[in-house]
Structure 1
Amino acid sequence: MPEVRYRFAPSPTGHLHVGGARTALFNWLLARKEGGKFILRIEDTDVARSTQESVDAILQGITWLGLDWDEGPFYQSKRFELYQEFAYKLFDSGKAYRCYCTTEEIEAKREQAMKEGRKPKYDGTCRNLPAENADKPYVIRFRAPQEGVTAFRDLIKGDITFNNDELDDLIILRSDGTPTYNFVVVIDDATMGITTVIRGDDHVNNTPRQILLYEALGYPVPKFAHVPMILGSDKARLSKRHGATSVMAYRDMGFLPEAMVNYLVRLGWSYGDEEIFSIQDLIEKFSIENVGRSAGVFNPDKLLWLNAHYIKAGDPQRLADLLIPFLKERGVDPSKGPSLPAVVRTIQDRAKTLLEMADGAVFFYTSDIAYDEEAVAKQMTPTAAPLLTALGEKLEAVAEFSHDGIETAFKEFCAAEGIKMGQIGPAVRIALSGCTVTPSIYEVVEVLGRDEVRTRIRRSVEFLTK
């Protein structure tokens, strides 16, 4: 059985869009499921708009998502000689011809056709010229059939048919010798042995032209699957006005790659009522047949829910490693203070993003607490200072400074003072963190450690007595 080969071929003219990332993911999953190859190709023939910065951003985004490639990255800009060779093969065999029409002439023909209600396609002026002057500037056009139909079965959309008389003679080589998109895509996919092309449905209209080129070159035509677009909440095509569209922007906002992968796959693909999939689950269960024909609507809240799930279930050490750059952005050196994985354990149940986790972790590494004045005025009653002093002494005497030992000390303290936890808890939170919202008090005390808790309680008492 021949090897199955899939590809992802982004244009390096910007960041890795979530739509492109989903296309890459679909190709990668099927390659892994079927034991085939996943090829990465950079379509940088648009020299004016392609940048190395965009190439780097795309590679970074694919790597962050965990999509490893088996071959490549191949760059179209380094294959121009190959494309020219194939263009002249078509020319020499009579399947392409020189066109001498100027840009102005082409535009005039287009305008005239539109005035007459005709399709504004090339009229074939140079198609059957008896003699050709190679010294005059020319482009090379593919000699497309003018009758019949070109049909294919789309793995998502079903049967699609185009009348050949609606397709004009495609330019395959410009007058400066540079090849055109539809031509180089066919040459690349053919010579790289791509067996299935999965791409956005904005390429549907390119497909009949490409099929004709495959046939003219004598290469097998691959299978095609055109994935519907991703829309914003207003059902318009997803753009920056809907929020972030770059995969790496979501990384910078504190999202985990597994949450993004899980969300993007489910944005158009269904598998019963299941929502949570590991990467191995997806490799086993994903199929292009279960991708819907309707456009997916990007829902940031759903992505946030998935991210919270993966953070809650995440390995504290891995999350700690991912948190380090976010903490450093906040001026925090996590090597100076409590164990970061231990801090993570106290906050991961309630955090939705790594950004939230970083914000919630800062106070663990900041001894010079800035107290929330409103919280102090509301929660620090006149009895707070002596109670905090007495509690500090109680905690100093705890033999086993563990969660259980700390919880027991708090309960014994409240019983001895004749108060409830709610009467001392807010003051303790303010003393330790500066505000009234923290993880479990017992966890915070344990992670900070006996010495730091003593220091913070004493400082809060000094603040209150002043």
Structure 2
Amino acid sequence: MSKHNLGPVRLRVAPSPTGDPHVGTAYMALFNLAFARQQGGQFLLRIEDTDRARFREGSEQQVFDTLHWLGLTWDEGPDVGGPVGPYRQSERLATYRPYVEKLLAAGHAYKCWCSPQRLQQMREEQQRAKQATGYDRLCYGKTEEERRQLPGFSETPVVRMLIPDDVELEFNDLIRGRVNAPRPDDQVILKADGFPTYHLAVVVDDHEMQVTHVVRGEEWISSTPKHILLYRWLGLDLPKFAHMPVLRNVDKSKISKRKNPEARLTWFVEQGYVPEAIVNFLALLAYPPAKDAEGNDLEKFTFAEFSRDFAWDKVNPIGPMFDLKKLDWLNGVYIRDLELSDFTSRLLPYLEREGVLSGNPSLGELGRLKDIAALIQTRIVLLKDAVPLVQPFFVGDDMLEIAEDARRDLGPNAAHVLSAAIDVLGDIDDHLASLTEPSAWNVARIEAALRAELVEKLGLKARAAFGPLRTAVSGAKVSPPLFESMAILGKTSTLARLHALRDSL
């Protein structure tokens, strides 16, 4: 046990740097962090990088970046340090060896020299015989020389646990109550390369780091009996266990990075989800919403609100469905509730990524963007949805492209409508009357003039009157409000675009 007294509660999330961070990492971090903050404890980030075959350079930094983006920050970890580091398993190899030696000396573990080929053949024979697969203990009780005389010998041994016949298979779970797990086989705890397996490393690290609550996915229920054995054999205090339900697709299959792009945390950044909505959504997946005074569900809440009322016995143990339609709805709610300046600033990375704006926009461009943002904030679900709506305002009039579906929808009278609009808009003065009086080129004047000319005088319905103008101004069938768009573009650009479309018909 560490000499530090770090209580009262300590929880951790322990991702493996094997590629893009999984959404399940954020899901686990959220519930661990919520309880830690409620209890006034600490939340740790540990990198479990002992699987060197699957290690991916840069993955660790992606974990840091995406969790920080979500606001799920930690008190101790590889990047911030702490009193019980190092916080990368690959930097802790010397820590595990004394524990292995203690298990070997007590007869709770033994060396195994079986080659991978011999183990594969053993499993295949067990499967053909319809037997439960598991190590057959060929090496147990043998010296290295005795084992060398038998087939399938490997020079470098692994170390296995010796699972007793009377192993306890039930344990208490904070979410599920009394849980019954399947009987484990003689699990490898130290690999031939000198790296510990997850099962030994997680027990040692959680003990050394004084983790009081081990919260992880339900797929680890089957491993918990062997972890409890290790705690007992090594004379360590048991933590409390909580096994979260696994995230599932609507067809009830497990979410996988191989099959689901939304399993990658970076995907949510790319698509334009706001982190507050994702945190809210992940909490709702396995936790009931609060109720208002009338008994209605309060599905929108902050992390602080979630943490304040958190209780493990409220977590739903049934695997929740990861419904993107629900997340999209929630994301739209959060976007609409953002302050305009905040919403505008969140659009910038997506506009820069698509080349709509440079990485260093001018004050004039930022001012125009804020005006446009006010028009579209209620119209988008994802931040990236803003790109095609904003782009027409930052492209040269002669560079605006008319979408084919919009051109096909113009109708036979489009040229006549555009000509009439050009005439009436051309009569609106776009100069400032004075420093205190705005230009006549404004939303109210533009709308009044166009309605009088196109709807009242020509007798056109609004769709027929304004559809061609919308296409001319934006290049698309769907755009921000027409009259506001013209006011932002200005008289010169508006007339140039009307002329360009009319002349192309």
TM-score interval for Structure 1 and Structure 2 normalised by the shorter chain? 0.7 to 0.9
Cα 1:3–1:434 change in 2 (3 A) is same
Contact 2:441 2:487 in 1 (8 A): no
Q: Which residue does 1:461 correspond to in 2?
A: 499
For residue 222 of structure 1, report the CA deviation from its aligned partner.
0.9
- Displacement of 1:374 in angstroms is 2.7
The yes-or-no answer on 1:358 pairing with 2:387 is yes
Give TM-score scaled by structure 1 length: 0.88
- In 1, are the aligned partners of 2:441 and 2:491 still within 8 Å (CA)? no
Secondary structure in structure 2 of the residue aligned to 1:81: helix
| Distance 1:413-1:181 versus aligned 2 partners, 3 A rule | closer
Q: What does the per-residue CA deviation read over 1:125-148, in whole Å, with 9 as the maximum and x for residues that have no partner?
A: 555569998997543333443325
**Per the alignment, do residues 442 and 278 of structure 1 end up closer, same or farther by CA in structure 2, a change over 3 Å counting?**
farther
Correspondence 1:259 to 2:281? no
The aligned residue for residue 420 of structure 2 is 386
Aligned with residue 151 of structure 1, among 170, 191, 210: 170
- Give 1:61 shift: 1.9
Deviation, structure 1 residue 299: 1.1
Indicate conservation of the 8 Å contact 1:402/1:446, yes or no: no
Match of 2:12 among 2, 7, 14: 7
- Indicate if the aligned counterparts of 1:122 and 1:169 stay in contact, CA closer than 8 A: yes
Distance, in Å, in 2 between the alignment partners of 1:155 and 1:403 is 68
Larger displacement relative to structure 2 (308-317 or 413-422): 413-422
Equivalent in the alignment of 2:480 = 439
Q: Deviations over 1:6-31 (max 9, x none)?
A: 11111111211222221121112211
Matches within 5 A, 1:11-22: 11-22=16-27
Deviates more, 1:286-295 or 1:376-385: 376-385
The within-5 A match list for 1:193-212 is 193-212=210-229
Distance in 1 between residues matched to 2:477 and 2:110, nearest whole Å: 77
Taking the aligned partners of 1:16 and 1:433, their CA distance within structure 2 comes to 38
For 1:379 and 1:63, the matched residues in 2 are separated by 55
Paired letter, 1:287: A
Segment drifting more, 108-117 vs 83-92? 108-117
Q: Which AA in structure 1 matches 2:103?
A: L
CA deviation profile, 1:188-226 (whole Å, cap 9, x unmatched): 111011111111111111100001101111111111111
Matches within 5 A, 1:194-273: 194-239=211-256, 240-272=258-290, 273=297
- Structure 2 residues without counterparts, runs of 5 or longer: 1-5, 79-86, 149-154, 291-296
Paired residue type of 1:60: D
Counterpart for residue 36 of structure 1: 41
Distance 1:414 1:46 in 2: 69
Larger displacement relative to structure 2 (383-392 or 78-87): 383-392
Q: Is the 8 A contact 1:395 1:409 kept in 2?
A: no
Change (3 A) 1:426 1:140: closer
Query: Contact conserved, 1:271 with 1:290, CA < 8 A, in 2?
Result: no
Q: Is the 8 A contact 2:425 2:450 kept in 1?
A: yes
Q: Describe the superposition over 1:281-307 as per-residue Cα deviations: whole angstroms up to 9, x where unpaired.
A: 222233322221211111111111111
Structure 1 residues 122 and 435, CA gap change in structure 2 (3 angstroms): closer
Post-superposition Cα deviations, 1:15-61, rounded to whole Å, max 9, x if no partner, equal: 11222221121112211222111111111101111122222222222
Q: 5 Å matches for 1:56-455?
A: 56-73=61-78, 74-101=87-114, 103=116, 119-124=132-137, 127-128=140-141, 137-147=156-166, 149-162=168-181, 166-239=183-256, 240-272=258-290, 273-333=297-357, 335=362, 337=365, 338-368=367-397, 369-371=400-402, 372-378=406-412, 380-394=414-428, 396=430, 399=433, 400-401=437-438, 406-408=443-445, 410-411=447-448, 414-415=451-452, 418-419=456-457, 422=462, 424-448=465-489, 452-455=490-493
Letter of the structure 2 residue corresponding to residue 464 of structure 1: R
CA RMSD of aligned residues (A): 3.1
Distance 1:71 1:393 in 2: 67
Distance 1:398 1:105, change over 3 A: closer
Supply the AA of the counterpart residue of 2:401. Answer: A
Which stretch of structure 1 is more off in the superposition, 253-262 or 105-114? 105-114
Shift in Å at residue 261 of structure 1?
1.2
Q: How many residues align?
A: 461
8 Å Cα contact 1:375/1:435 also seen in 2? no
The 1:134–1:69 alpha-carbon spacing in structure 2 relative to 1, beyond 3 Å, is farther
What is the distance in 2 between the residues matched to 1:33 and 1:279? 11
TM-score (normalised: structure 2)? 0.82
Mean Cα displacement is larger for which, 284-293 or 28-37? Answer: 284-293
CA displacement, residues 101-132 of structure 1 (integer Å, 9 cap, x when unaligned): 55566556656666776544344455556999
Change (3 A) 1:96 1:440: same
1:111, 1:390 → 2: CA distance? 84
Judging changes above 3 Å, is the alpha-carbon distance between structure 1 residues 403 and 96 closer, same or farther for their aligned structure 2 residues?
farther
Give the 3-state SS of the residue equivalent to 1:42 in structure 2: coil
| Offset at residue 317 of structure 1 (A) | 2.3
1:456 partner letter: T
374-383 or 222-231, larger mean C-alpha shift: 374-383
Asked if structure 1 preserves the Cα contact closer than 8 Å seen for 2:288 and 2:314, the reply is: yes
**CA deviation profile, 1:402-440 (whole Å, cap 9, x unmatched):** 899531553266447744782643344234323343222
Q: Give the ranges of 4+ consecutive aligned residues of structure 1 lying more than 6 Å apart after TM superposition.
A: 130-136
Deviates more, 1:98-107 or 1:265-274: 98-107
d(CA) in 1 for partners of 2:46 and 2:439?
Answer: 55
Distance in 1, Cα, partners of 2:122 & 2:492: 86
The answer as to whether partners of 2:184 and 2:222 remain within 8 angstroms in 1 is: no
Secondary structure of 1:193's partner?
coil
1:184 is aligned with what amino acid? A
- The one-letter amino acid of 2:12's match is R
CA distance in 2, matches of 1:298, 1:402: 51
Distance 1:437 1:94, change over 3 A: closer
SS of 1:296's equivalent in the other structure is: coil
Q: Aligned pair in 2 of structure 1 residues 465, 216: CA closer, same or farther (>3 Å)?
A: closer
**Residue identity opposite 2:282 in structure 1:** L
In structure 2, give the amino acid aligned to 1:361.
Answer: V
Residues 416/168 of structure 1: CA separation in 2 closer, same or farther (3 Å cut): closer
Output the amino acid matched with 1:214.
Y
AA aligned to 1:356 is D
AA matched with 1:228: P
How far did 1:332 drift? 1.6
